[in-house]
Structure 1
Amino acid sequence: MATDRAAPGPLETDSKARLTQEIQDAVSPATKSDVPSDSDSDSEIETNPFAKPQVAAYWKDVYEKAQYECRHAFDPTLEWTEEEEKKLIRRMDWRVCLWACIMFFGLQVDRGNLSQAVSDNMLDDLGMNTNDFNLGNIVFLLSFLLAELPSQLISKKLGPDRWIPMQITLWSIVATSQFWLSGRSSFLATRALIGMLEGGFIPDIILWLSYFYTSKELPIRLSFFWTALSVTDIATSLAAFGLLRMRGILGHAGWRWLFLVEGLITLCVGIASFFYMPASAVQTKTWFRPNGWFSEREVLIVVNRVLRDDPSKGDMHNRQAITPRRLWNCLKDYHLWPIYALGLVCFIPQAPPKTYMTLILRSLGFDTMTTNLLTIPASVMHIITLLALTWLSVKVDQRALVGILQSIWTLPCIIALRFWPGTMVNPWGTFALVTTLLSYPYTHAILVAWTSRNSNNVGNRSVSAALYNMMVQLGNVISNNIYVEADKPLYRKGNTNLLAINILAILLFLFAKAYYVWENRRRDRKWAAMTEEERREYYRDADKVRGQATNRLDFRFAH
């Protein structure tokens, strides 16, 4: 049997093992990810939640009723070696995770190249000012935010393998059309369309990745995913160094060529994605890929390792729409609200300095080409700290107490920025301060995986990913109203607000940790007070129990 498949869990070792055994004794459909065991023994209960025939029969019936696309590959008795699993994970990293990063590259190119464009006097060319720039960002973010949930619902119905390539292709066409911008109105229109078409892309990708990776593996893969953001920033900064030099060719500004060339690159990614993305691990064979990605045995391993980590991943098929009732239940699931609150607040302090970095550097006297090159060091450091933070979270099995390091890093930087006296007289000192701030360890991958882990079924996970990302975008909307024209160039009032929000983020991380610890202990006490017959009665209506998602008495929250 493969080893090292322990799912993250917040319970103490003794209570985990005891609760796991009690649930198995009660013939429950509990999962290893629901009630993980950290005992040293390599028991069947610990590594295979389907070890007992009655439990396997229960889940087989669930998969059949849901018409789960991988149900024919479900095998409770399948065994494989650790070496087979590692080899398979490496292959998925190259084929699944890498392509997800390439698609995210396309997203970041078309939503992030605006900062390079404005460094080339785009605002002056279009007769706009800083407030118009802020409004464009707000329009983009609001459109992005409002499209999140509808996009996720469409993706769940059509399948991410169909919807994501459509999204990329459509927004790349709009991004390319920015070559012909004529003023404020066309600028705002393209911002709205790009935001609308890009909304939902990130939770769609996360849903697709969850088909191939376990809950323990997902945070690291998501850190690779968001590493693509920094890699994109580096690549687009280098590209801008050349593309913006095209100013004057055929009588057009360099920023116009920037939009045109980078939009066409994203269009190529979108078209390729139609052919590259499989619907699931059992659907990689097509007319243009006759051998598929996996052998028959490898398909069985991919499917069963994911199901043993979280059996609920098979309770819906990949073309099944979210019902209004399920949507409402997800919306009112207050157990996930602490993570949503973190998504709203904890990324605000870093956003204005990042958005305005090129404008700040230009105002300090750096030319267009130097300004774009000076954004690279922060992006490089961002990659290093992101990967280190996510690795630490997985290593110590902590989310809140590791994620809080982001806000602790930025706190002294925000304080220094607020009281920094030499913005205009010490350009290199200001550059060093802003670069240090923007090198912060990014906790987004941790929070996304945390949301997925605490959702506890496919339907809940689909909606919660969109809701979390909506809160992040709402935070971005707030951040784009912090630095305003009247407060420049030192933005004293704006930085004071950022300082208060940074402190609030630290408090929210501590609150989330305390809430989940308290809720887990409350459920421990309630479960321990039940008799064996009461536990059996609890599971008698199996479909009702499964539909409770995060409210199940046998489920424990990660924190």
Structure 2
Amino acid sequence: MEEKKIANEAITSTTLTDVAAGEIESQGFDEKGTKKLLRKIDWHIIPFMSLIYLLCFLDRTNIGNARLDHLEQDLHLKGIQYNDCLAILFPFYIAAEIPSNMMMKRIRPAIWLTFIMFFWSATMIGQGFVRNYSDLMATRVFLGAFEGGLFPGVNYYITQWYCRQECGFRMAMFFSAATLAGAFGGILARGIAEMNGVGGIAAWAWIFILEGLLSILVSLSAYWMIQDYPATARFLTSKERDEVERRLQADSGHLSNDFNMKYVWQAIKDWKIYIHMLICMAGFCPIYSFALFLPTIIKNMGYTANNAQLMSVPPYVCACFFTIVASYVADRYRKRGVFLLGFQLVAILGFALLAGSGRSAVQYTGTRKIGGSLKLGTGIAMQVMGGNCGGIIASYVYLSRDGPRFITGHSILIGFVSIAFCLTLFMTTWCRIENARRDKIAAETGIQELTIEQKLMERELADNVPWFRYTV
């Protein structure tokens, strides 16, 4: 009866998130109690997940810092071989994403995330001992395969703790770790550069070894630090566990949480996910381009290698600030499309500054940029797959022959962000129209009692159920 009440009430509401924000609290904890519960979850989930992703992104992109410490010269890389070493990571990263999210659903997150983190950390340490192009290519393959499951996995994991309108800000906190990784990587690389020659090992190799060791130390504590799901969370009381599960149930209605391959196929056949994959690809391409090449771009503005490492820090700090603030405001007002569109315009302006001016001060300003559960898990993985296809492209955006201005690369990224803008505008418009259509049907039919058979049918419809509303 509770499920029926939730589902039918949601028919007449503007968005399902309105139910999550209003009805849920009134039927369970009061507003103050709910906020206290969410803060408790935040402190036990978000910081450690963010730390893991910070280390993951650092390990994936620190090759850009290592390049300034003579990586190419020592390994005798020629032509676009450096770019090949960047690109080879992403096909294996992409291939791992959907299977990894299925494993997150099948086994405990604490086990799976610890497993992949330990082995990508070990791979990173091994990358410090490569001697040629082939060795570096091999380590990048394994790095991509083990890291591929983290980002989609943690995004899916967050949806198992928070209602939909609460996820955006938490995911932004998690994703902001990538921007902090860029800042932290620059500072760390500058310090490690002083170790050049220690133990007969070059500075670029020490970057890989020390950062890999840091990651592997964190991975050894991950099994005990990661809470699996609310039902088994040790930090929650029995009453709090019940409340978290009740809120999630109310947020999803009676949609299925079963492990069944038909929900995977639902995601694969959903055209909307492919549009979001393209948006992610067009958005991730500039993110990866800057993560991999920002130290090189800054160095070509006339700075020394050591200063370039440090000068790469402020753009990431700026990006981190705007990522968190904008996501908080977007979640509060439940308007995401308009923020995406606004920041995409800012990104276009930034790349235009880089391409249009030869003055280092103007160029440097341009670098301050803004960066049913199984179907959900598969859909998230598919969208991140699209994003990491952008990583393959990003590996070849900035070629050495185009330096020092890299006008071609900046122009390519303007094109990609423009594509993301157009597709975001399309999806935002479509979701508004679809929500209005469902509201009209709901107003005409009114509240209806659902039979057991109707509930079973709706259980498998995911976001196609009549009462579901898209967040725009």
The TM-score with structure 2 as length reference comes to 0.91
Any conservation in 1 of the 2:182–2:316 contact (CA below 8 Å)?
A: yes
Provide the residue aligned with 2:374 in structure 1.
459
| Distance in 2, Cα, partners of 1:513 & 1:43 | 21
Provide the residue aligned with 1:228 in structure 2.
177
In structure 2, list runs of 5 or more residues that go unmatched: none
- Of 263-272 and 229-238, deviating more is 229-238
SS at match of 2:285: coil
**What does the per-residue CA deviation read over 1:292-334, in whole Å, with 9 as the maximum and x for residues that have no partner?**
3122222223322333333457x43xxx64x332211110012
- Of 522-531 and 187-196, deviating more is 522-531
Q: Does 1:546 align with 2:445?
A: no
Any conservation in 2 of the 1:405–1:441 contact (CA below 8 Å)?
A: no
1:325/1:295 CA distance change after superposition, 3 Å = closer
Provide the residue aligned with 1:258 in structure 2.
207
Q: Does 1:345 align with 2:282?
A: yes
Task: Give 2:390's match in structure 1, choosing from 475, 490, 497.
Answer: 475
Q: Does 1:296 align with 2:238?
A: yes
Please identify which structure carries the higher helix content: 2
Report matched runs for 1:103-118 at 5 Å: 103-118=52-67
The structure with higher relative contact order (CA 8 Å, sep 6+) is 2
Provide the residue aligned with 1:439 in structure 2.
368
Letter matched to residue 139 of structure 1? I
| Distance in 2, Cα, partners of 1:356 & 1:152 | 29
Any conservation in 2 of the 1:28–1:539 contact (CA below 8 Å)?
A: no
Report matched runs for 1:322-471 at 5 Å: 323-420=260-357, 422=358, 426=359, 428-429=360-361, 432-434=362-364, 436-442=365-371, 457-471=372-386
In our comparison, the structure showing a higher alpha carbon Rg is 1
1:31/1:137 CA distance change after superposition, 3 Å = farther
CA shift for structure 1 position 530: 4.9
| Distance in 1, Cα, partners of 2:46 & 2:390 | 27
Any conservation in 2 of the 1:178–1:190 contact (CA below 8 Å)?
A: yes
Any conservation in 2 of the 1:404–1:506 contact (CA below 8 Å)?
A: yes
Any conservation in 1 of the 2:20–2:247 contact (CA below 8 Å)?
A: no
Provide the residue aligned with 2:217 in structure 1.
268
| Distance in 2, Cα, partners of 1:481 & 1:44 | 44
Identity of aligned residues (%): 20
1:407/1:37 CA distance change after superposition, 3 Å = closer
CA shift for structure 1 position 204: 1.1
SS at match of 2:80: helix
CA shift for structure 1 position 383: 1.3
**What does the per-residue CA deviation read over 1:17-52, in whole Å, with 9 as the maximum and x for residues that have no partner?**
xxxxxxx9995762777764589xx99995149x9x
CA shift for structure 1 position 247: 0.7
CA shift for structure 1 position 143: 1.2
Provide the residue aligned with 1:305 in structure 2.
247
Any conservation in 1 of the 2:183–2:316 contact (CA below 8 Å)?
A: yes
- Of 115-124 and 296-305, deviating more is 296-305
SS at match of 2:186: helix
1:31/1:281 CA distance change after superposition, 3 Å = farther
Letter matched to residue 462 of structure 1? G
Any conservation in 2 of the 1:33–1:310 contact (CA below 8 Å)?
A: no
Letter matched to residue 296 of structure 1? S
1:129/1:296 CA distance change after superposition, 3 Å = same
In structure 1, list runs of 5 or more residues that go unmatched: 1-23, 52-76, 285-291, 443-456
| Distance in 2, Cα, partners of 1:373 & 1:44 | 44
CA shift for structure 1 position 169: 0.4
| Distance in 2, Cα, partners of 1:93 & 1:144 | 28
The TM-score with structure 1 as length reference comes to 0.78
CA shift for structure 1 position 527: 4.5
SS at match of 2:66: helix
Q: Does 1:95 align with 2:44?
A: yes
Task: Give 1:173's match in structure 2, choosing from 118, 122, 127.
Answer: 122
